[in-house]
Amino acid sequence: MKKYELTAEFIEQWGKKLFRIKALISFGSVEAGELGGYVEKEDNLAQDGDAWVCDNAWVCDNARVYGNAWVCDDARVYGNARVCDNAWVCDNARVYGNAWVYGDARVYGNARVYGNARVCDNVMVCDNAWVCDNAWVCDDADYLLIGRIGSRFSFTTFFKNKDKGITVSCGCFLGTIAEFRAKVTDTHGNNKHAKMYNLAADMAELQILGEEYFDKLNTNKSEPF
């Protein structure tokens, strides 16, 4: 038995029709007859489990929401993204590309999770964080959002990647933390902005890679050539 249906009410986004959904039965905290958010097709939201799309949220393309996951408020899930288990995507968050959000993870605020990123377990990705590329964030210590800093007074996100290194997302820049430091030097030399960016990178290494790595790094820096 289906738990919801597509109604005749729709909106158009990116040349696609997205249909408002309506619960046919009561499940979880959803009551029969309750209107939800928008999906492009039934494949976007599982007919089993307690997963739901509500408010003005929408899910389209080949994205799927299933298990007990919720997508709500003004959130958007699209591309080949997956939101499952007990995960929540809400507020103005965006999950897209080949990204997965699962476990008990929460993505909210103005956060973006995309590329081949994985956000799982009890992680909360929020505010203006951008987690992307090959990110593998399964603990709150696996990413660090710092802002507003730099010449543009914007936000910089440091996150653990699948190789257990650190990737940095800063404006148009996306690369390893070593590449980030090199870019900072090329752009800012040793001015105030460079010092702040490098301090932020130090903090990210300490949080994400741990004290042992950070102590070893500083020991190597102090050794004579």
Per the structure, the complete domain to which residue 214 belongs is given by 140-225
Against a cut of 0.75, is the pTM above it?
yes
pLDDT in tens, 192-206: 999 999 999 999 999
Task: Check if the beta carbon of residue 37 is closer than 8 Å to that of residue 57.
Answer: yes
**pLDDT for the residue 143:** 94
Q: Tell the burial category of 44 from Cβ atoms under 10 Å away from its Cβ (0-12, 13-18, 19+).
A: buried
Q: Does residue 178 lie in a domain region? A: yes
Mean pLDDT of 79-88: 98
| Number of domains composing the chain | 1
C-alpha–C-alpha distance, residues 153 and 181, integer Å: 17
Confidence check: pLDDT of 120 > 60: yes
Q: Does residue 111 lie in a domain region? A: no
Phi, psi of 127 (to 5 degrees): 55, -125
Length of the chain: 225
Q: Look up tokens 């046919």; give the residue.
A: 24
Q: Is 80 helix (H, G, I), strand (E, B) or coil?
A: coil
Confidence check: pLDDT of 217 > 60: no
**pLDDT for the residue 152:** 86
First-to-last C-alpha distance (Å) of the chain: 72
Lowest mean pLDDT among 12-16, 175-179, 199-203, 207-211: 207-211
Q: Does residue 160 lie in a domain region? A: yes
Q: Does residue 120 lie in a domain region? A: no
Q: Where are the alpha helices (DSSP H) in 25-131?
A: none
- 62 alpha-carbon distance from chain centroid: 18
